[in-house]
A and B are shown apart, each in its own frame.
Chain A
């Protein structure tokens, strides 16, 4: 496919981020196509979260540029990037603990982007919309859960709440920072089809993940980082055969056992 036929949704060009001389990211470039599931993997400290923070505006890249739908979003404020359509979840969940779960979605629904989708000033019944979104994301198993304070919910629900915030924002791209971490096998297996469905509905997913089995089931392409440098960019199966990736993960001369 040529560049003109399918312009990339997100273009990351030569992004470098240094923290007082430590290079967390070193000239990372890749593209994200509309509708794909891109996995970002790498050992601990390889710069995955830094990359996501640069992409969503929480950090300003030292050099390089990031384009979203052809527009330069490098170093813009997080709320501007969110309003452009890139939603994110946090690795360590950040619910509004004292608010009931469904009230957690009022903030994204209050954003200019969500209001634009709702048709300007017309607000509608936000509580009902919030509950609909939560039910779509698996809160329907217990009708009382959306009304409980977010601080009392188990981690599985809180991870869904993070996703729900992106849905309420009507994000085109969801950047998921380790959604599976800390979850049990049962919760992961119920969250997986949910992400597949979101992708099927046209949401582009960028997933940072350590749970490679689950990641490979979802992702059509992976980017592997190590010490802030892009090691690999391609199909998941090829990543596992790549010598450089193997070395970064398992050391020299060792084999992957998945």
Chain B
């Protein structure tokens, strides 16, 4: 509550929750059209925005739209792991690389079309990542983060040293989807499905158990739940989302190379989540929608780009550490007015 003096009188800002009945669950939302609109409006705006945006974008920017989607998915996966399963992940690059190379190898070895490589790479890649990370799941602390951080380097050097999977050049001339509209809308729809799916998941029983485990894993195993299995499920869900992003990039470019293991894919999603607000998923989307096009816009700055970009991040962390979305949510859900004390 901000307090202030004006005209010699002391005032303070009063905040009143609006529609509190609506925001609690149950049938209250059906009380009136107004309440329903109040609930549906932000969601409808998001869905409509994502579906209409590609129509308004110039052709060149449709590729940026797809890239934004990729970073959004990575940010979802990061947000899910860090806010609901309790793992700090630097795994964006790992997911991109495994997803991308799985799709690439399937496409080049068996000549499968993208319609098949995308789903196969999503689940196969997710399973591979989960297997790779499994040894760290028994441990608490930073080991998971270290493992996710180190694997991309290992794979990069393996590919370089052994000249496997196309070596330093990568796999090229893979089958792509020629129609940009199909690509763009596949991405838009998938982002929406993952967003609403994850938000649903974390409020369902399984999500509540995940959150319980994040707070105290021993108490959850005393409650009769196999926490290692639960962690495997959590990491698998996140890995599948991340690997879809990698496979999609492979289909988008028609090639896959060592740059799929680049650190950008780990860092930018984290930045997007921090800016948007962790734990909301929609915040991660918002962060990516701001950051990725911005990175494209300031590409002309050359290496100064990273400076501008880092400054934005630092400013956000310092000034709005909860993120943009929780701030906007609060504004949406509360009236504010000045009252004299």
Contacts and interface: CB of A to CB of B under 8 A. Distances in A.
A binds B: yes
Interface in A93-119: 94-99, 103-104, 106-114
Nearest to B229: A79
A126 interface: yes
B221 A106 contact: no
Given A94-B218, A98-B215, A111 B223 contact: yes
Interface stretch (A32-40, A65-73, A80-88): A80-88
A227 interface: no
A103 B214 CA distance: 14
Interface stretch (B202-210, B270-278, B292-300, B320-328): B202-210
B205 A106 contact: yes
B79 to A, nearest CB: 16
Nearest to A112: B224
Contacts of B218: 58, 78, 90, 94
B153 to A, nearest CB: 34
B219 A82 contact: no
Contact of B208 (A77, A87, A99, A123): A99
B220 A107 contact: yes
B222 to A, nearest CB: 5
B211 A99 contact: yes
Nearest to A147: B24
Contact of A165 (B205, B215, B222, B227): B222
Contacts of B213: 107
A56 interface: yes
B208 A106 contact: yes
A79 B226 contact: yes
A223 interface: no
A169 interface: yes
A165 B226 CA distance: 16
Interface residues of B, number: 19
A95 B222 CA distance: 12
B216 interface: yes
Contacts of A114: 224
A110 B211 CA distance: 13
Contacts, number: 83
A94 to B, nearest CB: 4
A165 B216 CA distance: 13
A90 B219 contact: yes
B212 interface: yes
A165 B208 contact: no
B225 interface: yes
Interface string A107-148: 111111110000000010010000000000000000000000
A160 to B, nearest CB: 15
A96 B215 contact: yes
Nearest to B226: A79
Interface string A20-57: 00000000000000000000000000000000000010
A83 B224 contact: yes
Nearest to A94: B219
A99 B222 contact: no
Contacts of B211: 96, 98-99
Given A78-B222, A82-B221, A110 B215 contact: no
A111 B226 CA distance: 9
A93 B225 CA distance: 18
A96 B222 contact: no
Nearest to B224: A111
B219 A96 contact: yes
B205 A126 contact: yes
Interface of A: 56, 58, 77-79, 82-83, 87-88, 90, 94-99, 103-104, 106-114, 123, 126, 165, 168-169
Given A87-B223, A110-B209, 13 more contacts: A58-B218, A79-B221, A79-B222, A79-B225, A79-B227, A82-B224, A87-B222, A94-B219, A95-B219, A96-B219, A106-B205, A106-B209, A110-B225
26 contacts: A56-B222, A58-B222, A78-B221, A78-B222, A79-B225, A82-B222, A87-B223, A88-B222, A90-B218, A94-B216, A95-B219, A96-B216, A97-B215, A99-B215, A103-B208, A104-B212, A106-B208, A106-B212, A107-B209, A110-B205, A110-B209, A113-B224, A114-B224, A123-B205, A126-B205, A169-B224
